[in-house]
Structure 1
Amino acid sequence: MTGRLALRGGAALDQVPVTLDPLTADGERTTRLSDGSGWFGFAHVEPGVYRLTLDLPEGVTGSPRTVVRVTKGRIAEAEFPLLLEVP
């Protein structure tokens, strides 16, 4: 499972914790950090439904949760639209 965290204007969000929680599959909660391009990924995720939660940095607002379905043999992509920087 992969994704990219970016503000609406395109600026990447670096070092943001992304937590993966299995909802229908076996497994444990796992957290990864986004890299300098905003990319994050979780390898070897079992098929099932997962909730992803962001720990948004101060000054960023938006929906910090999404649900992703992982199917065997495919790379699932997570999306967090509408992340905004607030003054």
Structure 2
Amino acid sequence: MYHRMRQVLVKEASKENIQLRQSYKRKSKLAFIKQGRYFHAKQSKRANKETKRLKTYLGSVKRDIERKVENPNERLKSLFRDL
């Protein structure tokens, strides 16, 4: 869920020509894959650690967008409300 929300935020930022400091594209994908593997192997503590990492990446992208946009459009506002 966090991985997908981060993808949507990055896509919207690129539509608005917002230059992000870091999109976490590769790191997020790897953490998402690891999370699924760990849950499948019933290693929930490790999986929860990856979930927390995904949440951190999402928060970082969100804060970066908020810093760089003074007046967000309606689409960005609705995405921020959904987080």
| TM-score strictly above 0.5 | no
Q: Which has the higher strand share?
A: 1
Q: Which has the larger radius of gyration?
A: 2
TM-score under structure 1 length normalisation: 0.28
RCO greater where, 1 or 2, for CA within 8 Å and sep 6 or more? Answer: 2
Higher helix share: 2
TM-score, normalised to structure 2, is 0.29
